[in-house]
Amino acid sequence: MKKYYSVVIALLGVLVGALAMLTYNKAVENRLRLQAEYRDWRKLNLVLQSLDKNYVDTVDRKGVTDAAITAALGALDPHSVYMPPAVLEEAETDLAGNFDGIGIQFNVPNDTAIVLEVIPGGPSEKIGLQPGDRILKVDDKVIAGVKCPQDSMVRRMRGPSGSKVLITILREGEVIPFEITRGKIPMNSVDASFMVNDTTGYIRLGKFARTTYHEVLAASSSLLGQGMTQLIFDLRDNGGGFFDQALYLSDMFLPKGASIVYLEGRNRPRKDYTASGDGALQKIGLSVLINENSASSSEIFAGAIQDNDRGTIVGRRSFGKGLVQEPLYFTDGSGLRITVARYHTPSGRCIQKPYTSSEDYAYDIYYRYRDGEMLNADSVKVDRSEVFHTVGGREVYGGGGIVPDVFVPIDTTSASKFYQACSRKATAMRFASAYFDSHKAELQSIDDFDSLIRYLDRAGLESRFLAFASEKDGLKPASPAEWEAEKSYMMTSVRALVGRYSKLGEKAFYHIYLTIDNVFDAAIKN
């Protein structure tokens, strides 16, 4: 027994020694790795310190640091970014679902901001601003006729709730100052929703903001009450936003347990998201409209619908933004958005398009035009080296973005010289504004679509528009035949822009414009 115990003790001693040696070696290995990593990153500090100590002029430490951070992140991927305080605040405000401001929507058709809509219950409505007012000054800053950028106008009008701003407007030849106390203004992500026929509803979603799910839920509930059994969900030009809102919207349509998306990265283990089965729209027929500017959360939603064979994707290949960013905030109000993972659709496709060349990435949409992808489905670039399958067994491919089930090319049928010339000079938009100036009371009294259509039918817009284009811009169709070929397209656009000045706002615009929208037409036929 003594010999037995001796052997056991010896073996235990060897094991303990071995474990100690392994632990020591591991500690040494980790220490060496950390030292190597420290040396790698220390070079950047040494460069900055050397500049501070030796540079010929005084160094703007903050400016140089910001530039170094921006350059470092730019070497990683297109979506890891540094944002100075003003940029970060604007980016987060845009997605928050509300902001502090005066409560108007405006357009700038001819170097002057014109009020399109006064948000009900907002500060501007309470003080008396009206659609059609021309904004001349914000406080003491002239913004009319000086080529002031539109984003600069927005920044000047926004400000903390409770603060005051002086808005000077031109109304029917009279200059009127309005002192407005800023307040909380809701920002809608649903641009328009309405029934296009007895059974088909339409919802256009502009972004995925904090309020998106509740807005879509309210809009779809209203459409269901009007008899909707089919929905056309328009995500064109929707650049995305909050990830959780894409999950909530997908959950509205998918059965219990259906995969929505999964995330995975080097330091982020795979995380799957599935549907709860509680969605109110699981039985509704669905078409999703996308284009080359539909990105991020739009692609998550479209990919979930496509891979689950839940609806039909109509349009053109989406942007291809499938990198997941997490925020990092600094005490000076600036912040980072760092890519930590990739989005994958239920079938396993990575949404992200290649970004090995920053130039190719930046000009990707241009290359799609150049290579014919916008006109021909056969020119759409997909990665056929790996085939994925929907739940129903259909083949789908990676390569970046969501490739639609029904391809619809860009519409070039009405691009005559007259149309292009009018587009360059915003003739139709300026005409609509001028028409509203002289018919404000009539348009602002219209609050239902049928009444609007009857009004537009008898307004004589065609002759008025052609006269305006000729007198103001010196533009005329080359021949009666050219005008006949494009009249329907051009005048539908004009009617939509004039209709926007009614109380129906954007709802009127989209309801009219969709009649010449080839992507929408393909969805209806499908």
Q: What is the DSSP string of 153-220?
A: HHHHH---TT-EEEEEEEETTEEEEEEEE-EEEE--SEEEEEESSSSEEEEEE--B-TTHHHHHHHHH
User: How many Cβ atoms sit within 10 Å of the Cβ of residue 362?
Assistant: 11
Per-residue confidence band for 26, with pLDDT thresholds at 50, 70 and 90? low
- Residue 173: predicted pLDDT: 83
Buried b (16+ CB within 10 A) or exposed e, 191-215: bbbbbbeeebbbbbbbbbbbbbbeb
User: How many Cβ atoms sit within 10 Å of the Cβ of residue 217?
Assistant: 16
- Residue at token pair 């489905």: 377
Minimum mean pLDDT range among 50-64, 90-104, 437-451, 491-505: 90-104
Residue type, 214: H
Residues 351 and 283 in one domain: yes
Residues 110 and 234 in one domain: no
Contact of 274 with 260, CB cutoff 8 Å = yes
Task: List Cβ neighbours of 314 (8 Å cut-off, separation of 6 or more).
Answer: 287, 288, 289, 290, 404, 405, 406, 408, 519, 522, 523, 526
Residue type, 102: I
Residues 285 and 430 in one domain: no
Residue 287 predicted with pLDDT over 60:
yes
- Residue 327: predicted pLDDT: 85
Radius of gyration of the chain (CA): 29
Residues 178 and 213 in one domain: no
Residues 383 and 433 in one domain: no
CA distance 161 to 31: 52
Per-residue confidence band for 36, with pLDDT thresholds at 50, 70 and 90? low
Residue 414 predicted with pLDDT over 90:
no
- Residue 379: predicted pLDDT: 92
Mean pLDDT of all residues in 427-445: 88
Residues 422 and 311 in one domain: no
Residue 83 lies in a domain: no
- Residue 425: predicted pLDDT: 80
For helices 449-457 and 506-513, angle between their N-to-C axes, nearest 10 degrees:
60
Residue 1 predicted with pLDDT over 60:
no
Residue 329's DSSP bridge partners are: 335
Per-residue confidence band for 21, with pLDDT thresholds at 50, 70 and 90? low
Residues 229 and 368 in one domain: yes
Percent of the chain whose predicted confidence (pLDDT) is above 90 = 48
| CATH number of the domain encompassing residue 134 | 2.30.42.10
Contact of 271 with 373, CB cutoff 8 Å = no
CA distance 62 to 82: 13
Is the Cα torsion angle 64, 69, 74, 75 positive or negative in sign? Answer: positive
Residue 366 predicted with pLDDT over 60:
yes
Residue 38 predicted with pLDDT over 80:
no
- Residue 16: predicted pLDDT: 62
Residue 369 lies in a domain: yes
The answer to whether the predicted template modeling score (pTM) of the entire model surpasses 0.85 is no
Highest mean pLDDT among 35-39, 120-124, 477-481: 477-481
Query: Structure tokens of 125?
Result: 């409505």
Residue 9 lies in a domain: no
H or E element: which one contains 461? helix 461-473
DSSP for residue 241: B
Residues 214 and 145 in one domain: no
Residue 335 lies in a domain: no
Residue 439 lies in a domain: yes
Residue 10 predicted with pLDDT over 70:
no
Listed residues 364, 385, 407: the one ending a domain: 407
Residue 448 lies in a domain: yes
Q: Largest Cα–Cα distance in the chain?
A: 116
Residue 7 predicted with pLDDT over 70:
no
Number of domains into which the chain is organized: 4
Mind telling me the catalytic residues? 296, 307, 321
Mean pLDDT of all residues in 162-180: 88
Percent of the chain whose predicted confidence (pLDDT) is above 70 = 90
| Nearest C-alpha neighbor of 503 from the set 441, 439, 444 | 444
Residue 289 predicted with pLDDT over 60:
yes
Contact of 251 with 278, CB cutoff 8 Å = yes
- Residue 121: predicted pLDDT: 67
Check residues 206 and 3 and name the one with the higher pLDDT. 206
Helix residue ranges, H only, 371-448: 417-424, 427-438, 440-444
Mean pLDDT of all residues in 484-504: 91
Residue 29 predicted with pLDDT over 80:
no
Listed residues 369, 387, 407: the one ending a domain: 407
- Residue at token pair 């009666």: 480
Q: Which domain holds residue 400?
A: 190-325+342-407
Mean pLDDT of all residues in 476-486: 89
- Residue 117: predicted pLDDT: 78
Contact of 298 with 235, CB cutoff 8 Å = yes
- Residue 308: predicted pLDDT: 98
- Residue 6: predicted pLDDT: 65
Residues 207 and 129 in one domain: no
CA distance 240 to 116: 25
Residues 143 and 41 in one domain: no
Residues 177 and 194 in one domain: no
Per-residue confidence band for 486, with pLDDT thresholds at 50, 70 and 90? confident
| CATH number of the domain encompassing residue 311 | 3.90.226.10
Listed residues 165, 186, 207: the one ending a domain: 186
Residue type, 25: N
Contact of 194 with 165, CB cutoff 8 Å = no
Please state, rounded to an integer, the average pLDDT across all residues of the chain. 87
Using a 10 angstrom Cβ sphere, with 0-12 exposed, 13-18 middle and 19 or more buried, the burial of residue 398 is buried
Residue 498 predicted with pLDDT over 60:
yes
Minimum mean pLDDT range among 43-47, 399-403, 478-482, 488-492: 43-47
User: How many Cβ atoms sit within 10 Å of the Cβ of residue 248?
Assistant: 20
Cα→Cα distances 304→264, 314, 317, Å: 16, 14, 15
Mean pLDDT of all residues in 200-210: 94
Strands (E), 215-283: 230-234, 259-265, 268-274
Is the Cα torsion angle 359, 364, 366, 372 positive or negative in sign? Answer: positive
- Residue 47: predicted pLDDT: 83
pLDDT digits (tens, 9 = 90+) for 294-339: 999 999 999 999 999 999 999 999 999 999 888 888 888 888 889 9
Q: Assign 3-state DSSP to the chain and report helix, strand, coil percentages, each to 5.
A: 45, 20, 35
Check residues 526 and 260 and name the one with the higher pLDDT. 260
Residue 63's DSSP bridge partners are: none
Per-residue confidence band for 455, with pLDDT thresholds at 50, 70 and 90? very high
Minimum mean pLDDT range among 32-41, 269-278, 478-487: 32-41
Residues 375 and 482 in one domain: no
Residue 309 lies in a domain: yes
